């Protein structure tokens, strides 16, 4: 055993090597073990203060919402959180180990990153020219994955229309107000609201109050849906009645108009002699929506432990694996929670999804 002092002056004892000969039998069991007596909390996953000054960290081997019989996770109580490192990751060559698809040179996405708001330039930017990609995942050609963008819009589209054959778009405004004039009606959008624009829907974007800046989640896979509430029951989270679909509106204008399509990651344009927003009436269940995030009703633990953040899911886009999402849109809105024997928010976490 060795003893050493922590920065807060607390003295801890630890095994020098941490090695121990011994095994626990079984496959797929729910094991528990500790190398120091009392290191493993009882009755609580994430105490506010762990014994020995350890950090609680959850390692998820499946999505939070995987079925109970398939759900895998392990709570670790460690000397330092695994997110801690002293410098950036640097690429190295391992020439004979290949991975599909091929990784392109210059990818530097490994590590913990954040970015400041992108400045809005003085140049005229429309919904199309003002889009800036932050990251991508999956493959648009096989309709799996997503892309995350920041939009910067300073000018309305004039006799110009857009639709994506690749994806549906989840729009999250940060600044300014936009109007989406779609084939099925008009949506006005401002901060603290979101909009869902289905794949294949033609629309024009106008600036009501600018400049406008915000985020776009481009969903290549299955469409967004409301998450199952499970034991939460019939109420709370996002309620269907709070999603607003526009009423029919149309334009009867014979004017030269530009139509831009996004197809397999490429952009194409064509010209037509009228406004494509000429739908006078419609019925069906494939349509755009807006949703006021202030109507989201969160639920959470008010006793002694922290639930998984999946309870804050507003919308989810499923993957081919039950309980595992292609995309989750999660909202941590303002809330008051009173707890007994409180936990440390937020806890550290490594999430395989």
Closest-CA residue to 65 (of 219, 218, 237, 197): 237
Catalytic-residue membership of 341: no
Phi and psi at 309, nearest 5°, equal -70, -5
Taking alpha carbons only, the member of 346, 343, 351 closest to residue 45 is 343
Active-site hit among 20, 84, 85, 306? 306
- Closest listed residue to residue 57, CA positions, set 353, 351, 348: 348
Instruction: Using alpha carbons only, give the angle 227, 229, 230 rounded to the nearest 5 degrees.
Output: 125
Would you give the distance in Å from CA 45 to the centre of its chain? 24
Q: Please tell me the distance from the alpha carbon of residue 241 to that of residue 234, in angstroms, as a whole number.
A: 13
What distances in angstroms separate CA 303 from CA 30, 77, 307, 340, 349, one per listed residue? 24, 21, 11, 5, 21
Chain mean position to CA 141: 21
Whether the Cβ atoms of residue 6 and residue 18 lie closer than 8 Å to each other: no
36 closest CA partner among 10, 54, 56: 54
φ, ψ for residue 260, nearest 5 deg = -110, 130
308 CB contacts (<8 Å, ≥6 apart)?
A: 64
Catalytic positions, please? 306
């Amino acid at each position: 055993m060795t003893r050493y002092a922590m920065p807060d002056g607390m003295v801890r004892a630890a095994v020098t090597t941490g090695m121990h000969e011994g095994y626990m039998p079984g496959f797929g069991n729910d094991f528990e073990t500790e190398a120091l007596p009392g290191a493993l909390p009882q009755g609580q996953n994430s105490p506010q203060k762990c014994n020995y000054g350890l950090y609680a960290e959850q390692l998820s081997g499946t999505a939070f919402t995987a079925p109970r019989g398939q759900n895998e996770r392990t709570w670790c109580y460690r000397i330092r959180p695994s997110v801690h490192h002293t410098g950036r990751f640097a690429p190295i060559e391992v020439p004979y180990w290949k991975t599909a698809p091929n990784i392109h040179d210059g990818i530097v996405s490994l590590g913990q990153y954040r970015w400041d708001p992108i400045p809005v330039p003085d140049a005229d930017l429309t919904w199309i020219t003002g889009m800036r990609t932050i990251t991508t995942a999956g493959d648009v050609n096989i309709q799996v994955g997503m892309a995350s963008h920041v939009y910067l819009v300073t000018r309305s589209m004039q006799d110009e229309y857009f639709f994506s054959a690749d994806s549906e778009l989840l729009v999250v405004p940060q600044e300014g107000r936009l109007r989406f004039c779609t084939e099925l009606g008009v949506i006005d959008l401002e901060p603290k609201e979101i909009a869902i624009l289905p794949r294949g829907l033609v629309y024009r974007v106008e600036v009501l109050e600018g400049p406008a800046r915000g985020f776009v989640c481009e969903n290549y896979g299955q469409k967004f849906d409301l998450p199952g509430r499970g034991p939460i029951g019939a109420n709370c989270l996002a309620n269907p009645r709070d999603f607003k679909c526009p009423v029919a509106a149309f334009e009867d204008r014979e004017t030269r108009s530009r139509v831009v399509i996004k197809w397999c990651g490429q952009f194409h344009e064509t010209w037509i002699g009228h406004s494509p927003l000429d739908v006078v009436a419609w019925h069906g269940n494939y349509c755009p929506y807006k949703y006021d995030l202030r109507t989201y009703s969160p639920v959470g633990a008010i006793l002694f432990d922290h639930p998984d953040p999946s309870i804050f899911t507003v919308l989810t886009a499923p993957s081919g694996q039950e309980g595992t999402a292609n995309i989750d849109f999660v909202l941590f809105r303002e809330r008051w929670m009173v707890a007994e024997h409180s936990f440390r928010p937020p806890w550290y976490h490594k999430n395989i999804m």
